[in-house]
Amino acid sequence: MTPILKLEAISKSYRSVPAVSGVDFDLRRGEIHALLGENGAGKSTLTKIMAGVVQASAGRMLHHGHEVSFATPNAALDAGIAMVFQETSLVPSMTVAQNLYLGSEKFLNRLRGTYISAQQFLQSLNFGVDPTALVATLGAAKRQMVEIARAVQHNAEVIIFDEPTASLTPEEKRHFFALLRRLKARGVSIVFISHALEEALEISDRITILRDGELVITADTASFTRDSIIAAMVGRSLSATIYRERGPAALRKPGRKVLSVQDISMGALVRNTSFSVFEGQITGVFGLIGSGRTETFKIVAGIARRDFLRGGAITLDDRPVRYLTPYEAVRDGIVYVTEDRKSEGIFETMSVGENLFGGVLAAGKAKARLVRLAEVRALAADWTARLNIKAINANARVVELSGGNQQKVVIGKGLVQAPRLVIFDEPTRGVDVAAIAEIHQIINGLADAGLAVVVISSYLPEVMNLSDRILVCRQGRIVEELSPVEATEAKIMYAAVH
């Protein structure tokens, strides 16, 4: 059978740095093909070539056996190849329905008809999104749903998903996988990029693994195990270091109580939440999207404010605090490492050193009133080495780094402030497995050095393997505390949803 799409010896370089070199790839009709690899392995570049976002430097692409080269994404879409991007490309000021039909509107467009048709279409996909809602008002998960719906709506015969499940809850993931199976049954071919290996093993028919821009292996999913995928992705087995079993002896004992949060409330998002954070220990926080875990810790970090009346109490070292600005929290040694690094964590067009120095400035720890380039360079050299940030050169802009290295910059930006309490919100979202191991090592190192560390994550294996205690958040409050020794995925999920 002729593959629907076939890539032969495809190469692509950015500023003479090869992103993909000599990769062969083929996609059969009605298959789900998982594309795996570390960040920087070339997955996104390869899929962008398929979708016409970038053009290959060498090699050829065959569509139904005919050689093609898509100059624009629209040309690829006309040929039936759609791509759902990791960063959503919706127009925030337009409604869901308008976004769905953007570019394919009729000359005389009737808004009511658009809404009705969008409503029916979203219902057919089992997506609970209001078509009349402005995209700007939607959360990350719902935006992702709209993005997926838009690709499906174009009746594409090839749909490429780049990290589609990163922001979905487990329930939404089930719906999404059911949708993929329905699309597959209709003969649609799907390319599926994910960092969650379990998802690839669960949903895909074949798996292709890339490493450093080169093809490592393409084979049927049944022939892979989790460990063999990781070994192929990174060239070594990381499974034991990232997802190791932990006995009671491996857990750190709590030190002094640094932070005590009692009954804090913020509207309907955070409701009478109470917990403590101890020195020398990693406190893991698990909760589904919308459970208020991020908002709770944003209150602690002074980014959000608790209710003025009956808002509860926060004490830092037994001293009551109520921060009006994040600066006050930073001054007290509290650092929040954001989950949304692109919009809140980094200045994309600035260099690593400038970003790190931004952290120093925010904490008011700069040595002089004027920015001294020597200080910036020294800081960059120091933290690049400490956190093993891989950049092309010292002046590389952060946007040019891989997701894992960008995340390390965000972490470094917090750590230069010499904190006592570090709050990591989804520290490994959109980060490849090798970088996950390094980031986990950084986080463990902080706890071992006696800092109080909080890790918020919706990835259960991460919470279970990194934390010394696990707090479960549900509907705006911490409902349960579990020890990693006794915790199982079922126990944590039960607390998170009941």
Partner 1 sequence: MIFDPLLDLLRGKAVTIPPLDGAFRPNTALDDAPVFAQMPAPDNLVFWQGKVVASSGPALMAPGGEVLQRYGSDITALAVSPHGALTVGLADGSLSIAGAAVVLPTDVRCITALAYGADGRLWLANGSATLPPGQWAADLMQKNASGSVWVQEDGWQKLASGLAWPFGLLPDGAGVIVSEAWRHRLVRLEGGKPRAILESLPGYPARLAPAAGGGAWLALFAPRNRLIEFVLQESRYRLAMMAEVSPEFWISPALASGRSFLEPLQCGGIRMLGVHKAWSPSRSYGLVVRLDAQMTPRFSLHSRANGTRHGVTSVLDHQGQLYIASKGGDCILAPAPEGT
Identify which range of 27-35, 170-178, 348-356, 475-483 contacts partner 1 by CB under 8 A.
Answer: 475-483
Does the protein bind partner 1 through residue 64 (CB under 8 A)?
no
37: left (phi over 0), alpha (psi -120 to 50) or beta: left
Does the protein bind partner 1 through residue 310 (CB under 8 A)?
yes
CA atoms within 13 A on the CB side of 444: 16
| C-alpha to C-alpha distance for 186 and 30, rounded to whole angstroms | 7
| Alpha carbon 244 to its chain's center | 22
Does the protein bind partner 1 through residue 272 (CB under 8 A)?
yes
- 128 or 320: CB nearest partner 1: 320
- 68 or 497: CB nearest partner 1: 497
The contact pattern for partner 1, residues 106-145, with x = CB under 8 A and - = no contact, is ----------------------------------------
- 287 forms beta bridges with 473
Does the protein bind partner 1 through residue 17 (CB under 8 A)?
no
Does the protein bind partner 1 through residue 434 (CB under 8 A)?
no
Does the protein bind partner 1 through residue 331 (CB under 8 A)?
no
Identify which range of 84-92, 214-222, 224-232, 317-325 contacts partner 1 by CB under 8 A.
Answer: 317-325
| Three-class DSSP category at 244 | coil
- 172 or 279: CB nearest partner 1: 279
Does the protein bind partner 1 through residue 322 (CB under 8 A)?
yes
Does the protein bind partner 1 through residue 463 (CB under 8 A)?
no
| C-alpha to C-alpha distance for 483 and 105, rounded to whole angstroms | 54
Q: Residue 168 is inside which H or E element, if any?
A: none
Smallest gap from residue 275 Cβ to partner 1 (A): 5
253: left (phi over 0), alpha (psi -120 to 50) or beta: beta
- 234 or 447: CB nearest partner 1: 447
Does the protein bind partner 1 through residue 478 (CB under 8 A)?
yes
**By CB under 8 A, how many residues form the interface with partner 1?**
29
SS (H, E, C) 40-90: CCCHHHHHHHHCCCCCCCEEEEEECCEEECCCCHHHHHHCCEEEECCCCCC
Does the protein bind partner 1 through residue 313 (CB under 8 A)?
yes
Select from 221, 262, 388, 444 the one that contacts partner 1 (CB under 8 A).
262
- 107 or 308: CB nearest partner 1: 308
Does the protein bind partner 1 through residue 469 (CB under 8 A)?
yes
| Three-class DSSP category at 28 | coil
Q: How far is CA 258 from CA 16, 275, 331, 489, in A?
A: 50, 11, 15, 28
Identify which range of 78-86, 199-207, 292-300, 315-323 contacts partner 1 by CB under 8 A.
Answer: 315-323
Does the protein bind partner 1 through residue 260 (CB under 8 A)?
yes
Q: Which residues contact 52 (CB under 8 A, 6 or more apart)?
A: 70, 71, 72, 73, 74, 75, 76, 77, 81
- 137 or 483: CB nearest partner 1: 483
Select from 121, 275, 357, 424 the one that contacts partner 1 (CB under 8 A).
275
Does the protein bind partner 1 through residue 251 (CB under 8 A)?
no
CA torsion through residues 460, 147, 430, 19, sign = positive
Q: Residue 249 is inside which H or E element, if any?
A: none
Smallest gap from residue 402 Cβ to partner 1 (A): 37
Count other Cβ atoms within 10 Å, centred on residue 377.
Answer: 15
Does the protein bind partner 1 through residue 435 (CB under 8 A)?
no
Beta strands, E only, 64-199: 66-68, 81-84, 158-162, 189-193
Does the protein bind partner 1 through residue 196 (CB under 8 A)?
no
| C-alpha to C-alpha distance for 1 and 468, rounded to whole angstroms | 53
Does the protein bind partner 1 through residue 254 (CB under 8 A)?
yes
| Three-class DSSP category at 305 | coil
- 199 or 307: CB nearest partner 1: 307
Which residue ranges make up the site for partner 1 (CB under 8 A)?
Answer: 254, 257, 260-263, 272, 274-276, 278, 308-313, 320, 322-324, 469, 478-481, 483, 495, 498
